A and B are shown apart, each in its own frame.
Chain A
Amino acid sequence: MNATVLHYIGKPLKRREDFKFLTGKGRYVDDIKLPGVLHMAIARSPHAHAIIRNVDLGAAKAAPGVRLALAGRDLEGKIGPIVPNWIMPGTKVPFRPVVAIDRVRFVGECVALVVAETLAQAYDAVGLIDVDYEVLPAVVDEEAAIAADAPQLHDNVPGNITTIYKVRGGDYAKAAVDADQVVKLRVVNNRLIPTCMETRSVVAHPDPDGTLTVYMPSQVPHMHRRWIAETVGIPEHLLRVVAPDIGGGFGAKMHLYPEELLCPHLARELGAPVKWWESRSESHQSTSHGRAHTENIEVAIKNDGTILGLKVETLGNVGAYLSNMASGGPTVNTVNFGTGNYRIANYEATSRVVVTNTVPVDAYRGYGRPEGAYIAERAIDVVARHLNLDQVEIRRKNFIQPADFPYRPYGGMAVIYDSGNYQGLLDKALAAFNYDARRNERETLRRNGIYRGIGVAAYTHMCGMAPSRRLASIGFDRGGWESARVAIDSSGRATVYSGSMSQGHGHVTSLSQIAADVLQIPIENIDVIQGDTRQVQAGHGTFNSRSMAVGGSSLHVCSQRIIAKAKKIAAGMLEVDERDVTYAAGQFSVPGTDIAPLTFGKVARMAYVGHKLPDGVAPGLDETEFYDPIGMSAPSGVHLAYVEVDPETGIVDIIDYVAVDDVGTLINPLLAAGQIHGGVVQGIAQALYEEVSYDPDNGQLLTGSLLDYAVPRAEHVPDITSLFQETPSPTNPIGVKGIGESGSIAAPPCMVHAVLDALSPFGIRHLDMPLTPPRIWAAVQNARNGAGQ
């Protein structure tokens, strides 16, 4: 028999899941049509901060089709409160009822709800709810919120600060004394709306057997099962969470929102399915926002460009309450990574987590790492400009070296970069970008009054928070493991049950590539099941770029266990010692003998027929793995951008963008490049276009719909050259690192550096994102008028 060894890992396979999406057969939560379903609509606060004096539900209750109308008081003691899942040590946790009881703290907070027979009736009735408010002063900005006279949001959160977190390494004070200079910078990391194209939606369906099925677009179905069970008071085994196809997540679909508790509760109360669907405008004021930081940075430097020390003061605006992970984002996820890809021995960072009268802020693609990388990259770029050094050379000079890995930045214990080669990334990026030619071109054009700029940014971070026992010290109330089950049927085909959760990532393809390589069966013979807590044994879902490194590794190990057991069965069938059996290319054989090999399918069949199983080997070929990683993987990259800025209009034209990323072993280069494209565009969006605006006086959300919030369109973004360098991670059996967050981490500083480089002839050293035409134009005008920057 001429068996062939199958290699799927590393191949740019087209997606196996595409067909249903291309033909309109994708099934998202809003596509689930249940007979007799009732519709919930929410009355939301129009005020940023107010006391609720009275809620009059009379007219709403009497409206056509209305089955139920409730205010917060009616739910008091029945469900809730909403408790964060990540509570950093020392955090003061504000009380958050599911529906506001006596006070509202942001525009969009739930104050009452209606359940009616049609969605139109529910919306009509919500319009009849009369709430009497006493408006209070509001504060929306993180710096304003910590001022002595700022409005206070919660009695147990004095000064509006829930958490203070400090990181220290080396001796920054001494570094500042030893330095030739200390350069200071204040940067704003603009507030964003994640904007999944599918908004959130929930359908809770009480089954006749006593189970409650909750359909929701969850990145973390098993986590949601636990949180809903605990918060609504439903035994976890009677709750089934089903996440069907998900129209993007980006971190926004992994928190615990009021509607995800209300639908299950009301469905049980009414004995009927209850559905809620979020309109886009509603989404802007009810689904978590991202970023929203202000950082003050000091860099202690030698005049040759050596960085002696870095000091960071972060203010992380988390909105009105602590959302699910909110105390972890501005703290460990941000300032732990503030030194970036650089050897900076002396580091001192303090992060304050600040509540304001705004929509809660939580994870959004990168969560903290974009903010951390922005600190490091803006710092080193400003130093380069200050000392008139080359942007590239100052990075090369301060980079962590390949021999330094595993590297613990600033000598701390919390962060370990497992592997990397930043010099290699930089060289590859410069070559692909044609850096020297571009630099010359920029100089030539500048003399002709054409302002082009080159931006450089490097990043590294850590993915797949683990191992489980380490998460206790930061108050993260979940594990770092992932589970996988591989069930082989009697024909030798496999069904993979993974706790990871695709939201467009293409896990059906990438996970089956991993399983097929180990099992040595054709990829067409593998199915992947995710997103149903009644089918998938357990899991943590998809966030923190963990699916391949943790979920994929779990599947890899689990598949190896299948082979280990199949070898025992094959040994029984071949009547040889198990140690003499080898498995390769789908064949169990006994090398050095003339025994005819057995196919995987034949062994699978025997596993279920059970006639020739060796002593002590149970029937079946079905294994489950709970895989807890030994550590986290550290992807890295260097990105370069080339832009032209028109000083007369402030418009930025992106001429080129090159991304070179090291995400370890590539499972599927086609899908990997897709992740980079999408992430980079979200990062470009942060740098140039998107910003949530609030009226500072009354806390009104000014970017309340897609009319006002500038998500980029095809004509606003460039083609991206995505290249990879593969330095395998030593932390997992595949050598893979996270990828999903890379683009949105690297692109903001890269784009800002490119625009600032273009504007450098005007003496403009810093501008805050987004670099919109009015902002750039005003800066150029100021510079021309001699105001400088």
Chain B
Amino acid sequence: MAEAEKRHPVTIEINGTRRTFEVESRKLLVHLIRDDLGLTGTHIGCDTSQCGACTVEVDGLATKSCTVLAVMADGASITTIEGVSPAGSALDPVQTAFHEHHALQCGFCTPGMIMSARQLLRAHPDPGHDDIRHGIAGNICRCTGYQNIVRAIESLVAKG
């Protein structure tokens, strides 16, 4: 068996639940999330880590899950879009702001964009307009022209 196909045990905490998997050496974290866990809110939009559609939180830090091998996530705590507002709970303020400001159209980039927006607001409590545009530059949106995404994030800054 090729090294790439060798399997390794990986234990992660995913949206608050601890899970263990046997994964191939070559498996990316995004594939573990989508295929093994069935959490399809995390999307794949490219193959060069450019688009940010696969952004999740790894130990509280927004991370493109296509840049991490699943084995590297062993022991990590991961939050995906499904864990941002679990069933029955209220939407996260970022999610609400995206709705209020029409910050999504096709919705494909939205989960990753929300993860990056949350990261921005955690790392930078009072970002200006340019800080916001720079802060989400790792995520490509092809529909909105970004303007309403920026507005949505700004609305959260204004609220303090």
Contacts and interface: CB of A to CB of B under 8 A. Distances in A.
A705 B45 CA distance: 11
Contact of B142 (A19, A682, A743): A682
Interface string A659-697: 000000000001101100111111000000000000000
Nearest to B144: A678
A197 B45 contact: yes
A579 interface: no
A695 B156 CA distance: 47
Contacts, number: 175
B104 interface: yes
Interface in A246-263: 246-248, 250
Contact of B111 (A24, A280, A281, A671): A24
B105 A714 contact: no
B82 A15 contact: no
A24 B47 contact: no
B8 interface: no
A33 interface: yes
A503 B108 CA distance: 10
B150 A678 contact: no
B145 A248 contact: no
Interface in B105-158: 105-111, 114, 130, 132-134, 136-150
A14 B105 CA distance: 11
Nearest to B132: A714
**Chain A interface: which size bin?**
35 or more
B65 interface: no
B44 interface: yes
A504 interface: yes
A15 B99 contact: yes
Contact of B140 (A120, A671, A678, A706): A706
Interface string A713-748: 111010110000000000000000000000100000
A198 B105 contact: no
B146 A681 contact: yes
A171 B40 CA distance: 60
B105 A678 contact: yes
Interface in B13-42: 24, 26, 34-35, 38-42
B95 A505 contact: no
B79 to A, nearest CB: 11
Contacts of A706: 46, 48, 50-51, 140
A714 B102 CA distance: 16
Contacts of B105: 248, 504-506, 674, 678
A280 B140 CA distance: 13
Q: Considering residues A19, A199, A714, which has the most beta carbons from chain B within 10 angstroms of its beta carbon?
A: A714
Contacts of A503: 106
A245 B107 contact: yes
B24 A250 contact: no
Contacts of A15: 99, 102, 104
A22 interface: yes
Nearest to A248: B106
A717 B132 CA distance: 13
Contact of B40 (A14, A24, A743): A24
Contacts of B102: 14-15, 670-671, 673-674
A128 interface: no
B17 to A, nearest CB: 16
B136 A714 contact: yes
6 contacts: A25-B41, A197-B140, A247-B107, A504-B107, A713-B136, A720-B147
